[in-house]
Amino acid sequence: MAFLRKVLLAVFVFGFAFSVANAKDYSHLDPGKVVPARALSQAVAYLKKYGSGFNNDDYMVVIDYRQHSSKKRFYLVNLRTGGVERYVTAHGSGSDRNNDGYADKFSNASGSNATSVGFFRTMGTYSGKWGYSLRLQGLSSTNSNAYSRAIVIHGASYVSQNGHAGRSWGCPALDLNVSASVITRIKNGALIYAWSGQ
């Protein structure tokens, strides 16, 4: 009985030490406070809860679709250093029917050409119509059809770091000059949080 107690105590102590050692601390993220605080907090909470499902622990992305499409609203967060890079990204034509640069409607429906919000996991890359592209898996009820809708990250000639982004068919397209670098860093299991104030 005493031996069993010692074994159980050893297992408990080891398990506790292991969990503490592997507990992620994200307090160093975004020292410049450029990412919307609520969106970043929600993304971090999701990562803490479901982190084992994300193989890429170097980066995550927050996209703030409340902002105009000319703004650098795609936030690439380095989970190791805490640093943040910002990029212009497109939204879907179905989310911006009057083409004023603001996404005001979001959809998970096929054929909507609209942007979907919620949590995504990045998958593998492929070469498509727009070249080097990155598949996404929707993890929320608001984006669960992302894969079947072919909602992907790709470069596009209608997106520029220095101006108004054109509209996509729902994809968070990036400037062709930066898309390959971003995709390479976030592929294979990074968290993306597409946020519209929810």
CATH number at residue 181: 2.40.440.10
The answer to whether residue 85 sits within a structural domain is: yes
Residue 142 lies in a domain: yes
Beta-sheet strand order (sheet of 174-175): 84-87, 74-78, 59-64, 191-195, 118-128, 131-138, 152-156, 174-175
* Tokens read off for 154: 């790709």
pLDDT at site 2: 59
102 is a domain residue: yes
19 inside domain: no
Strands 59-64 and 191-195: parallel
∠151-135-116 over CA atoms, to 5°?
A: 30
Q: Does a structural domain hold residue 100?
A: yes
Q: What is the pLDDT of residue 164?
A: 74
Given a cut of 50, the residues of the chain with pLDDT beneath it are 4, 7-22
Q: Which domain holds residue 91?
A: 25-195
- In angstroms, the Cα distances linking 86 to 13, 91, 110, 116, 168 are 43, 16, 29, 20, 19
Is 146 a member of any domain?
A: yes
> What pLDDT is attached to residue 19?
44
Give a yes or no: residue 20 inside a domain.
Answer: no
Does 16 reside within a domain?
no
Cα dihedral value 55, 169, 62, 162, nearest 10:
120
Q: Does residue 171 contact residue 90 with C-beta atoms inside 8 Å? A: yes
Total domains, the chain: 1
Predicted local distance difference test score (pLDDT) of residue 9: 46
- Residue for token pair 């809708």: 149
